């Protein structure tokens, strides 16, 4: 014998019926914290901020780095 019971209720009603806690306020707080952290992380990914972090002395270091890179790239490997 099979018995099929169909219950029509909302998730909140089912949670209350089974005595489970309402986690929605905690979930909203956690999601708000995650959103704040992600927004702060995105601000730190600003190209200008990244350049200031990576190259504290500014453009002079960037030019020196580029020159060194091109010198290495253009160097004859047979001379080593």
Which domain covers residue 65, as residue numbers? Answer: 11-75
Classify residue 31: in a domain, yes or no.
yes
Q: pTM of the prediction?
A: 0.45
pLDDT at 57 over 70: no
For residue 36, tell me if it sits in a domain.
yes
Q: For residue 7, what are the contacts with CB-CB under 8 A and spacing of at least 6?
A: 14
Query: ∠ CA 55-35-52 to the nearest 5 degrees?
Result: 10
For 4-23, how does the pLDDT look when each residue is reduced to its tens digit (9 = 90+)? 999 999 988 999 999 999 89
Per the structure, how many domains does the chain have? 1
Report yes or no on 4 lying in a domain. Answer: no
Taking the C-alpha atoms of residue 48 and residue 50, their distance in angstroms, rounded to an integer, is 5
Residue 5 falls within a domain, yes or no? Answer: no
Is 80 a member of any domain? no
Residue 1, domain member (yes or no): no
What pLDDT does 21 receive? 92
């Amino acid at each position: 014998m099979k018995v099929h019971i169909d219950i029509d209720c909302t998730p909140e009603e089912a949670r209350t019926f089974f005595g489970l806690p309402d986690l929605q306020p905690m979930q909203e707080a956690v999601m708000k914290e995650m959103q704040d952290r992600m927004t702060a992380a995105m601000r730190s990914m600003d190209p200008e901020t990244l350049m200031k972090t990576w190259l504290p002395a500014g453009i002079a270091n960037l030019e020196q780095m580029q020159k060194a890179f091109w010198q290495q790239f253009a160097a004859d490997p047979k001379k080593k």
